[in-house]
Amino acid sequence: MQKFSEFKYERPDLAAARRTLSKLAKSVRRAKGFSEVEQAIFGYSKLQSAVTTQMSLAHARHTIDIKDAFYDAEQKFFDRALPLATPWILAWYRALTKSRFTKEIDARFGTQYLHNVRKEMSAMSPKLMLDMIRENKLAREYEKLLASCKVDFHGEQLNLSGLRKYAQNPDRALRREAAELTSGFLKSHEAELDGLYDKLVKLRTRMGRKLGYKDYTPLGYLRMGRTFAPEEAARFREQVASVLVPLCQKLYDEQAGRIGVDKLKVYDEAFQFPDGNAKPEGGKEFMLAAAQRMYRELSSETGRFFDDMVARELMDLETKPNKRVGGYCTGFPDFGAAFIFSNFNGTSGDVDVLTHEAGHAFAAIQAGETQELVDYLTPGMEVAEIHSMSMEYFTHPWMELFFGQKAEKYRYAHILGSLVFVPYGVMVDEFQHIVYANPDMSPAERKAEWTKLEKKYLPQRDYDGDAFMEAGSFWQKQHHIYSLPFYYIDYTLASMGAFEFFGRMTENREEAWKDYLALCRAGGSLPYKDLLALAHLSNPFEPGSVERAAAPLVRALEAIDRAAL
């Protein structure tokens, strides 16, 4: 079995790919029987698998060292090549949708296949090619800007991930200083950050209008493969505002009392216990050994999966200079492998990577072993995040391996963190809806909207006199807002599914795991609501869903004896 470092990267031969694609489209157009169409669909999937694998490989290696000139050039190649492939992909899609064998396609592959094709077609146009290239370029500029952060902090050179670890430091002065440095870094790039976002909003608005929409939002929904409407998202946000916001204020007040401060400041929010949050008891090797034991004990499927991740070195976990910030999981379908990227900083967040990103990777491998087509490997992100967030809960019983006697403390903080995340998550979504509905707003007006939303969703938020943050700048470090418009609500919708799994695993763990596995294996072969039904999960858009989903977490928090933590 090849290791990650041995995976051979080769820039795809675009001319050859185009020839293959036209040949496939032609064979669909001229098909005398369905078997020719079926073969062409498998041929397309094979081509997709090859290109996706190389693209993910270039992307992974680029993010590990954004200064590496070779992969920087390869990333630039893909950023241009994919938009430019639009006419070829559209021709293939047109051949499929106009085929006289569409009924047979539905019967053989499920209705989701052509449904996805039609949806993608409506978001694609040769008119958008140059805009998409520009959009990719601006998003990369933003990522590079954030990755360029290098500040001196008590003799240590830190990037943004490194600074974030001080949000959990027991010394309040250090927490404040780290928050000020983060804010200071953003402020020193304020004009660039404002300018990049302004360009992105205006560019995306033009793209939406080129396709005949009033603004970017409908196109944004199509590009995310949405099956729900903006009105449903709005009603969901209101449920969060009325149910979770008051609950979270109670939790924050309690936290202030617990850590002994009069008023919780922004740099106290992640600090939950007077003697500090639970920290993993060892470094990377310790964590990997603990995770390996955990996944072997959890189930035979997870054991096999994680052993493979370790043996093939499919994880780049430690923070390094010139590494992109954040964490993600990606897949290399040709190698039957997934890859986890993160910036370990010694906090409990490192364990979250080994559960959350591993949840994504596990789902990708399960779907890869079950699904025949690359198109069916991944569902929309509102389901993919259920894979990852539920794994965070399925692994709760093993937290002693990472935190020793502090495991209960970790579990408490994790549940608390999951609940208070949701108001922030929907707020990011509402912000983007406002921004794209009003594309002519100035950067200052956008920031004023953010401040208004903070009053609605995060009334506890206190920046302690930091004028830059008080002016509504916090979102400028949230890379989804720049690079992945309308993504963020997925985390909050998926939270509801993960919360539900959490409740169900306390009642009947075996059943819950069976449904989780079925959900992972189904990949993206079914529409959103059918995937939820398959896993016996509720529809988060139904009235009362937020309160019901959160109830088991609230009960779990109450059952934990805080004084003993």
Among candidate residues 101, 85, 87, the one with its CA nearest the CA of residue 14: 85
Calpha distance 559→553 (Å, rounded): 10
Look up residue 547 and give its amino acid.
Answer: E
x/- string (CB under 5 A) for Zn ion, residues 538-557? Answer: --------------------
Contact status, residue 341 vs residue 313, Cβ threshold 8 Å: no
Residue 282's φ and ψ, nearest 5 degrees, are -160, 180
**Measured from the CB of residue 485, what is the shortest distance to Zn ion in angstroms?**
17
Nearer to Zn ion, 269 or 385 (CB): 385
**Measured from the CB of residue 531, what is the shortest distance to Zn ion in angstroms?**
16
**Measured from the CB of residue 360, what is the shortest distance to Zn ion in angstroms?**
6
**Which listed range, 122-130, 194-202, 384-392, 520-528, lies at the site for Zn ion (CB under 5 A)?**
384-392
Nearer to Zn ion, 49 or 388 (CB): 388
Nearer to Zn ion, 230 or 326 (CB): 326
**Measured from the CB of residue 359, what is the shortest distance to Zn ion in angstroms?**
8
Nearer to Zn ion, 386 or 419 (CB): 386
Structure tokens at 426: 């929907």
Nearer to Zn ion, 392 or 466 (CB): 392
DSSP 317: E
How far is C-alpha 390 from the chain's CA centre?
14
**Which listed range, 248-256, 318-326, 381-389, 423-431, lies at the site for Zn ion (CB under 5 A)?**
381-389
Calpha distance 251→243 (Å, rounded): 13
**Which listed range, 54-62, 336-344, 385-393, 456-464, lies at the site for Zn ion (CB under 5 A)?**
385-393
Calpha distance 221→227 (Å, rounded): 8
Nearer to Zn ion, 378 or 388 (CB): 388
Q: Find the binding residues for Zn ion in span 246-265 (CB under 5 A).
A: none
x/- string (CB under 5 A) for Zn ion, residues 278-317? Answer: ----------------------------------------
Q: Find the binding residues for Zn ion in span 166-185 (CB under 5 A).
A: none
**Measured from the CB of residue 389, what is the shortest distance to Zn ion in angstroms?**
7
**Measured from the CB of residue 513, what is the shortest distance to Zn ion in angstroms?**
20
> What spatial distance separates the first Cα and last Cα of the chain, rounded to whole Å?
44
How many Cα atoms sit within 13 Å of 245 on the Cβ side?
Answer: 21
Helix (H, G, I), strand (E, B) or coil at 16: helix
DSSP string, 441-491: --HHHHHHHHHHHHHHH-TT---TT-HHHHTT-GGGG-HHHHHSTT-THHH
**Measured from the CB of residue 388, what is the shortest distance to Zn ion in angstroms?**
4
Calpha distance 503→498 (Å, rounded): 9
Calpha distance 405→64 (Å, rounded): 34
**Which listed range, 29-37, 241-249, 383-391, 531-539, lies at the site for Zn ion (CB under 5 A)?**
383-391
Among candidate residues 464, 553, 565, the one with its CA nearest the CA of residue 502: 553
Nearer to Zn ion, 124 or 363 (CB): 363
Helix (H, G, I), strand (E, B) or coil at 439: coil
Residue least distant from Zn ion (Cβ): 388
Among candidate residues 368, 491, 369, the one with its CA nearest the CA of residue 428: 491
Total binding residues toward Zn ion, as defined by CB under 5 A = 1
Nearer to Zn ion, 117 or 389 (CB): 389
**Measured from the CB of residue 327, what is the shortest distance to Zn ion in angstroms?**
8
Calpha distance 94→536 (Å, rounded): 35
**Measured from the CB of residue 357, what is the shortest distance to Zn ion in angstroms?**
7
**Measured from the CB of residue 94, what is the shortest distance to Zn ion in angstroms?**
34
Binder of Zn ion out of 161, 217, 348, 388 (CB under 5 A): 388
Helix (H, G, I), strand (E, B) or coil at 316: strand
Calpha distance 284→282 (Å, rounded): 7
Look up residue 117 and give its amino acid.
Answer: V
Nearer to Zn ion, 343 or 388 (CB): 388
**Measured from the CB of residue 91, what is the shortest distance to Zn ion in angstroms?**
34
Structure tokens at 517: 């596995």
Nearer to Zn ion, 52 or 388 (CB): 388
User: Per CB under 5 A, does 348 bind Zn ion?
Assistant: no
Helix (H, G, I), strand (E, B) or coil at 318: strand
Calpha distance 236→544 (Å, rounded): 10
Nearer to Zn ion, 74 or 382 (CB): 382
Binding site for Zn ion (CB under 5 A): 388
